């Protein structure tokens, strides 16, 4: 079983919709959970990180961690065409290494 599993998509939604992106992870010891956004032919950009369970909000973005089910989510409200990108979930393992999911390609349709 891979440490981080993520549906690669693509996911297409109309502009203004709420987007839900999800990942599962295997090791209950993980404590830090991150979401990165990557535009085509660019390096990943850190969007948000959360520690342990709960929600964290930053503008239109909300990250959610459910440690009981080993499930992490990113919600994007009022989605914009500029949100079209690949979204990578990631965890920090005990050796301070980041393990990434495969990424979900998101298309926001104008």
Partner 1 sequence: DTGVSQDPRHKITKRGQNVTFRCDPISEHNRLYWYRQTLGQGPEFLTYFQNEAQLEKSRLLSDRFSAERPKGSFSTLEIQRTEQGDSAMYLCATSGTSVPYEQFFGPGTRLTVL
Task: Round to whole Å and give the CA distance between 38 and 99.
Answer: 15
Structural tokens at position 27 = 């090791």
100 binds partner 1 (CB under 8 A): yes
- Residue 75 or 100 having the CB closest to partner 1: 100
Structural tokens at position 12 = 């297409």
Task: Round to whole Å and give the CA distance between 69 and 66.
Answer: 6
- The least distance separating partner 1 from the CB of residue 106, rounded to whole angstroms, comes to 14
90 binds partner 1 (CB under 8 A): yes
- The least distance separating partner 1 from the CB of residue 5, rounded to whole angstroms, comes to 11
Structural tokens at position 23 = 């990942």
Among residues 42, 55, 57, 109, the one that binds partner 1 under rule CB under 8 A: 42
96 binds partner 1 (CB under 8 A): yes
107 binds partner 1 (CB under 8 A): no
Bond before 88 cis per omega within 30 degrees: no
Among residues 14, 59, 69, 95, the one that binds partner 1 under rule CB under 8 A: 95
Q: Is 73 exposed, middle or buried (0-12, 13-18, 19+ CB in 10 A)?
A: middle
61 binds partner 1 (CB under 8 A): no
């Amino acid at each position: 079983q891979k440490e981080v599993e993520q549906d690669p998509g693509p996911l297409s939604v109309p502009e203004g919709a709420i987007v839900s992106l999800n990942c599962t992870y295997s090791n209950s010891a993980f404590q830090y959970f991150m979401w990165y956004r990557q535009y085509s032919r660019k390096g990943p950009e850190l969007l948000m990180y959360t520690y342990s369970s709960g929600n964290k909000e930053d503008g239109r973005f909300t990250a959610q961690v459910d440690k009981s089910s080993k499930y992490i989510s990113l919600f994007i409200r009022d989605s914009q065409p500029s949100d079209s990108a690949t979204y990578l979930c990631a965890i920090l393992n005990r050796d301070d290494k980041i393990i990434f999911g495969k990424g979900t390609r998101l298309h926001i349709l104008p």
